[in-house]
Copies of this chain bind each other. A is one copy, B any other.
Amino acid sequence: MADLRQTLRAFARERDWEQFQTPKNLVMALSGEVGELTEIFQWLTAEESAAVMEGGRSADVEDELADVLIYLVRLADVLGVDLVAAAQAKMIRNETRFPAAAVRGQATRSPDRSARDS
């Protein structure tokens, strides 16, 4: 991740693209890439989605996942956020927010829904 962050910094600097990579623009770029990922999965059933890496679009999936990570890492770097540390801290909070005994097997108590309800 640290290597990737350095690669993205150099890539932007060598192209004089730092001027375009405001956090606002990078959020939109991230969102656009997630849109491309969504288009791959939109008509698939749950089962087809689970088998997508065995089909003809596996390289596209990998490519879009790469693009999402690229913009996410670049965005966090521009904002000065330690992405992995933030995720680990969030998971520690999630352990408390969603006690296994209380939410086991319940999709309706999954993070987003409960976060919104609470």
Cβ–Cβ contact B91 & A11, under 8 A? yes
* Count of chain A residues with a beta carbon within 8 Å of a chain B beta carbon: 78
- Number of this chain's copies in the complex: 4
Q: Across the two chains, which residue of chain B brings its CB closest to A92?
A: B7
Residues in A lying within 8 Å of B, measured CB to CB? 1, 3-4, 7-8, 11, 14-17, 19-20, 22-25, 27-39, 41-46, 49-50, 52-53, 61-63, 65-70, 72-73, 75-76, 78-81, 83-84, 86-91, 94-95, 98, 100, 103-105, 107-108, 110-113, 116
The answer for the CA separation of A108 and B17 in the assembled complex, in Å, is 10
Within 8 Å CB of A68, what residues of B? 30, 72
Cβ–Cβ contact A43 & B110, under 8 A? yes
The answer for the CA separation of A14 and B111 in the assembled complex, in Å, is 14
Within 8 Å CB of A67, what residues of B? 90, 111
Within 8 Å CB of A62, what residues of B? 81, 86
Q: Across the two chains, which residue of chain B brings its CB closest to A82?
A: B62
The answer for the CA separation of A46 and B23 in the assembled complex, in Å, is 7
Cβ–Cβ contact B4 & A24, under 8 A? no
Instruction: Select one of B52, B65, B91, B105 contacting A7, CB under 8 A.
Output: B91
